[in-house]
Amino acid sequence: MRIVIDDGSKAWSEALPEGTERISLGRALDNTVVIEDAAASREHCALELGEGGWTLKDLKSRNGTRLNGRFVEQTPVEPGDVVGIGGTLVTFTAPGVGSQEEAQRLERELRERQESVAHPDALAVDPLTGLASYPALVCELERLTQHPEPVAAVLLDLDYLGLLNDMFGMRAGNDVIVEVARALSEAVAELPVARTLIGRVAGGKFLVMLPSARAEQGAEFAELARSKVSQRVLPGALSEATLSLSAGVAEVPTDADAWDVLLLRAEAALSTAKRGGRDRVELAARGAGEDALEGPRRPSALKDTKTSGLWAASGLWNPAVQGLELKGDATGAPLRPLTLSHAGQSLLGFVAQALGSDLELDTLLEVSLGVLLEAVSAERGFVLLRTPSGAARLRVRVDRAPGRAGTSLPSQAVLRRVFDEGSLLAVEDAPQDPRFKDSESLVLGGIRSVLAVPVVWGEQVAGVVYLDSREGPGAFDTEAQDLVLAFSRLIVGPVRRQLLLQAKDEELERARAALARTREQELRLRERYGNIIGDSAAMKTLFGLLDRVADTSHPVLIHGESGTGKELVAAAVHYNSPRRDGPFIAENCAAFSDSLLESELFGHVRGAFTGANQDRVGLIQAAHEGTLFLDEVGEMSPSMQAKLLRVLQEGELRPVGGREVRKVDIRLVAASNRRLREMVDAGTFREDLYYRIAVMTVDVPPLRERREDIPLLLEHFLKQAAAADGRPLPTVSANALPLLVHYDWPGNVRELENEAKKLYTLAGSEIDVTHLSPKLLGGATADRPQSAIRRVAVSDATDALMLVVEQGKPLAKVIEAFEIEAITRILTATQGNRSETARRLGLSRPGLLKKMKRYGIE
C-alpha cells in the first residue's frame, strides 16, 4: 500500500509496511504519516481497516477532516478517495494491485490537479464557503509577489473555533465558519482596492490578499473584518454569541520578498495576536525578529472587549460593577477585585454562552475545563460535585499529561479542606508546605502546585474545581487564581440545576422503585389469585387483604352479596395458606334442612337413621388439616350453630348416632350474604359463634362497585365458552359494552357469567345491542344511551325469542339460553334459595338442581 500526499506545492508518495491496519495522520512525529500543515492537529485523523474495509475517523481535530471536499467525522473510504487536512490532500492505493504503478499514476493526477488550480475547476473553490481554496490562494499569491507592486496579506483566524466544535459539534462549527466567510466577503466588497482575493486556508482561518496595498491598509481591513464578524447573527444555539477574530498582517516587499516568507510573517503576527489575548490585529515585525511588534497593542480592559457584551447578555457579569469586591467563597469574606486578562475574559465569555446551550453538564465541564487548563498551564483538572447525600462525586477529569506515575485522583487532603472551609486554597510548593508535605497522592504524583476553588451555592459548597501541576512551585499566580475563581462562579448556575435535577432523579428513582415493588406485588398477587378476575382499585385492596389473611390459620368470615364469588375467595385463601396441601371442602348451608346439614357436616354411623346403611365421614372430618368453607352460614339453625361452636372450641366432633369423639384440625372459612353482626344484635345468630368465626373479616365488593372489571370478566367468560365450543371469540360492539358496564348486576359475577353464556350462544362474530337481555336495556339514564334502547323493537320474551330464531339461531340453543336466564333471575330474587326457586319455576327441587348442574349455575 502507498500513500500519496499533495501539500499544495508538491506531491509525493510513501510506501507503508505490508499488513498495515491503521494509518494515523497529524503533525506529531509519531504519526504514520506526518502532515506538515499549520491547519493539522497533532493527532488529526486515522484510517483504520475493519471487516468492512477502510474507515476514516476524525480524531477531534481542531479544523476538521474532509473526504472528497466534505467534512466528516467517521465514514468508509475507498482507494482513490481524497482526504483533506487543511491545504494538504492525501489518498492511498489498494494493496497488492500494482502498487508502484498505481502510485505513479496518482502522483501524475495530483500534479495535474496542482497545475490546474489556478483555473476555475473544483479544486479552486473551498467546498464549505465557496471562497477560493488554499491551493488557489497559494498560486495567486505566488503570481502577485512576482510583480513590483506591494501586496498586503491579511491572515485572519476565528477565535475559539476548537472550543465551539467541542461544545456544539462540528456541524455548528461549520455553520459559524460559513457566517464568518459571508462577513469577510461583505468587508471585501467595501474595499476600494481592486482584484482583492479572499479564501479559506483551513478551519476558521482565512487569507485576504490586497494587491497594491500596504500593511497599514491591511490592518484597516482587518479591523473592518473584525467589526463585521462581531456583528454577525449566528444560527441556532449560538444566536446570542459574539464572535471575535485575531489577525496578522504582513506585506511584500517590506516584510518579505517571496510569497512563502510573506505567509510566515503573517502567521507570526497572527500568533502574536493570539498570545496577546486574541480579538486583536498585529502587524508583522520589521527588523527585530518575528515576534517583535509594531504599533500599540489593543487595550485589554474588560470594557473595551466584545466579551463584555456577551457577559452582560448572559446576566453573569456587568462591566459597570468591575472593581467591586466580590464574595467568592462560602465564608462570605470579601475578595479583592478579580483581575482577568483579555484572553481569560474571552474564554469565560464563550463558556458563559455555552452554559445557555443544551449541552450536558459533564460535556460542558470537560470541554471548558480542558481549555481552562491550557490557559493557566495546569496539567490536570477535576470538577467534583456534592451528591444530595453530601458525598463528593468526581464528575469530570482532564489530564494533559496522561500516563504519568502516581495516583489519578486529586488530593483528598486538599479537597477536605476546601469542602470544609469553603474558601480558595493555593498550594505554592506541596513538598515544602507543612499542611500537605505528607500527602501520599501529592508526593507520589510529584505534584508541586495545587489550586482548588470551591463552587459556592448560597452558603453551601456544592463542588470544587481542582487543578495541579508538576512544573515547579508557584505555577498558579494571582491571574490564574482569578480566572479559575471566575470559572467556578460561572458554573454555579448549571451545577445548582444539576444538583436539583439529581435530587429529583433520585426521588424519581425511589418512586420508580416503589412503583416497581407495587407492580411486583400486584403481579405476585395476580399469580396467587389468578382465578379471581379484577384489576380495579377495590380488587387490588381485596388481594392485599387476602395476602395477609392467607398466611395465618385463623378463621375467616367472608361477606358479600350473592354471586360475588365468595367461594373463589375462600379457595384462594386456602391454596395460598400453610394448609394448601390439605383438603378444601366447601358446602352451602342453605341447601340442606337442619337434620341433613348435621349429617353432611358431622357424618353418621351405620343405623343412625333410616337409610343409614354404612358409616359416612362428615365434611368436617374430611377437611382435617385443611380448610372447611361453609357458605351462607347465617342460615344455620340455633342448634346447628351450637354444635359447630363446640367443634371450633374443642377441636372435636361426634358423628350422628355415634358415641366416639373424633379429633379434628380444621381452618373454618365462613361466608354469608347477610350481615351476621346485625343478626347477632337481632338475636338470630349466636354471639359466641360470631366471634369464633369472624376473627378476620373479608368484604367482597359487589360488581356495581367495580364496573371497570366488567369488560375483563366478560372477556374471560366469553373465552371460556369459545374454548369449550372451539369457536372464534366474538367481539362486543361499542353500543353494547356501555350497557353491560352500566347495568347494576344485582346477581353480580354469577349473573354476568350467565349473561355472557347467553350472549355467546345467541351472537355470531359480534355481540350487539339486539343480543342483550331486556333487563339491560330498561331504565335509560345519562350513562345509558337512549339510542341503543330504541334499536330494540321487542316488548316481551316471546318477541325476543322469535327475533333470535328468525336470525337463524338453533331453537335448542335459544331455549337453553332462556332457561339459563330464567333460573338465574329467580335464584337472584330468592337470594339463592333453591327450593323457592324451584317452586316459582314450576320444577321439582331435583329437577332444578339437574338443570343448574347442566348449565353450570352455582
Residue 584: CATH number of its domain: 3.40.50.300
Same structural domain, 223 and 361: no
What's the confidence (pLDDT) of residue 525?
53
509 falls within a domain: no
522 falls within a domain: no
Give the span between the Cα atoms of 831 and 169, in whole angstroms: 76
Give the span between the Cα atoms of 847 and 340, in whole angstroms: 104
Give the span between the Cα atoms of 796 and 642, in whole angstroms: 49
Q: Which of 629, 532, 636 is nearest to 579 (CA)?
A: 629
Count of residues in the chain: 858
Same structural domain, 179 and 269: yes
Listed in sequence order, the DSSP H helices in 231-341 are 259-275, 306-314
Number of domains in the chain: 5
Give the span between the Cα atoms of 171 and 71, in whole angstroms: 9
What's the confidence (pLDDT) of residue 667?
94
**Number of neighbouring beta carbons within 10 Å of residue 708:** 13
Tell me if 625 sits within 8 A of 676, measured CB to CB. no
CATH number at residue 27: 2.60.200.20
Give the span between the Cα atoms of 181 and 168, in whole angstroms: 19
Handedness of CA 673, 676, 682, 688 (dihedral sign): positive
Same structural domain, 369 and 488: yes
Tell me if 58 sits within 8 A of 51, measured CB to CB. no
Among residues 701, 735, 751, the one where a domain terminates is 701
pLDDT lower than 50: segments of the chain: 96-98, 113-123, 287-335, 405, 779-797
Per-residue cell: 153? 496579506
Among residues 501, 522, 546, the one where a domain terminates is 501
212-248 CB burial, b ≥16 within 10 A, e <16: ebebebbbbbbbbbbebbeeeebeebbeebbbbbbbb
3-31 CB burial, b ≥16 within 10 A, e <16: bbbbbbeebebeebeeeeeebbbbbeeeb
What's the confidence (pLDDT) of residue 344?
66
Tell me if 61 sits within 8 A of 45, measured CB to CB. yes
Same structural domain, 643 and 722: no
Give the span between the Cα atoms of 797 and 807, in whole angstroms: 16
pTM confidence score: 0.37
Same structural domain, 543 and 632: yes
410 falls within a domain: yes
Same structural domain, 55 and 180: no
Among residues 501, 518, 553, the one where a domain terminates is 501
Which residues touch 492 (CB under 8 Å, ≥6 apart)? 455, 456, 457, 462
Same structural domain, 371 and 420: yes
Same structural domain, 561 and 667: yes
β-strand partners of 125 = 132
Same structural domain, 720 and 673: no
What's the confidence (pLDDT) of residue 66?
79
Q: How many CA atoms lie within 13 A of 237 on its CB side?
A: 17
**Number of neighbouring beta carbons within 10 Å of residue 98:** 11
Per-residue cell: 635? 342460615
594 falls within a domain: yes
**Number of neighbouring beta carbons within 10 Å of residue 384:** 23
Same structural domain, 111 and 130: no
> At 393, which amino acid appears?
R
746 falls within a domain: yes
CATH number at residue 221: 3.30.70.270
Same structural domain, 726 and 833: yes
Which residues touch 445 (CB under 8 Å, ≥6 apart)? 404, 405, 406, 407, 468, 470
SS3 content of the chain, % helix, strand, coil (to 5): 45, 20, 35
Listed in sequence order, the DSSP H helices in 304-436 are 306-314, 342-355, 361-376, 412-421
529 falls within a domain: no
Give the span between the Cα atoms of 487 and 456, in whole angstroms: 12
Q: Which of 833, 858, 353, 317 is nearest to 568 (CA)?
A: 858
> Exposure of 781 by Cβ count < 10 A (0-12 exposed, 13-18 middle, 19+ buried)?
exposed
Q: Which of 85, 56, 84, 48 is nearest to 68 (CA)?
A: 84
Tell me if 341 sits within 8 A of 310, measured CB to CB. no
Strand (E) positions, 44-132?
A: 45-50, 53-58, 65-67, 70-72, 74-76, 83-85, 88-92
Same structural domain, 223 and 188: yes
Give the span between the Cα atoms of 349 and 370, in whole angstroms: 15
What's the confidence (pLDDT) of residue 752?
94
> What separation, in Å, do the N-terminal and C-terminal C-alpha atoms of the chain show?
87
Give the span between the Cα atoms of 800 and 815, in whole angstroms: 11
519 falls within a domain: no
What is the domain range of residue 797? 708-855
511 falls within a domain: no
Give the span between the Cα atoms of 688 and 123, in whole angstroms: 105
One-character DSSP codes across 20-51:
--EEEEESSTTSSEE---TT--TT-EEEEEET
Block residue for cell numbers 453573569 = 316
> Exposure of 322 by Cβ count < 10 A (0-12 exposed, 13-18 middle, 19+ buried)?
middle
In whole angstroms, what separates CA 208 from the centre of its chain? 48
Give the span between the Cα atoms of 461 and 444, in whole angstroms: 28
